[in-house]
Copies of this chain bind each other. A is one copy, B any other.
Amino acid sequence: MPRSHGSEIDTLIQLLAKLPGLGPRSARRSTLQLLKKKDSVMIPLADALMRVADKIVICATCGNIDTSDPCHVCEDVRRDRTTICVVEDVADLWALDRSETFKGLYHVLGGTLSALDGVGPDELNIASLLDRAVTGEVSEVILALNATVDGLTTSHYLAERLSESGVKVTALAHGVPVGGELDYLDDGTLAAALKARSNVS
């Protein structure tokens, strides 16, 4: 096959194609963009990747992935240390933190219990959560797992385990997403929203 560019460029395209949201086609477009913007994007991107890769660490307290341990959440003194929000993944932590509604601490489980995939309590970051819950500093644990079967199973399990520690355990509300149309919602969500209806007058 004739080649229009060097093998290093092919390697770059293949690596970029591994990123979520970039297929082979957009990886090629991205590579061309990088080639054309060597000084403004390509070299800074290589630097940023190296700098972050050098520093990546998993927070020993909460399981967040960050460039320091304790992570920026755990070491932030302005946060409310009496509340811990339990999430499945770092992506959920980022999402909740972007909403700027919750100012407490987090705990990243690293997944959900799953009989099918053979994930038991020992595979998840659960022991350290129980340890954090009994320190006396924590008064509430908010379960913010995905509303999937595995997520709900894990929430039930955690609620039971945490009940021994005496902290208040809460979970995210189910209901109609803001901006969502009833017509497109599944029956489970509609039933949950009806059941949890509130007075407006």
Contacts and interface: CB of A to CB of B under 8 A. Distances in A.
Nearest to A18: B41
Contact of A9 (B1, B26, B67): B67
Copies assembled: 2
A26 B23 CA distance: 12
* Chain A, interface residues (CB within 8 Å), range: 35 or more
Contacts of A64: 4-5
Interface string A70-108: 011100101100000000001101100100100100100
Nearest to A40: B18
A114 interface: no
A91 B45 CA distance: 21
A16 interface: yes
Given A2-B97, A5-B64, 11 more contacts: A3-B72, A3-B76, A4-B72, A4-B93, A6-B55, A9-B67, A15-B41, A20-B29, A32-B90, A46-B46, A46-B49
Interface of A: 1-6, 8-9, 11-12, 15-16, 18-22, 26, 28-30, 32-38, 41-46, 48-53, 55-56, 64-68, 71-73, 76, 78-79, 90-91, 93-94, 97, 100, 103, 106
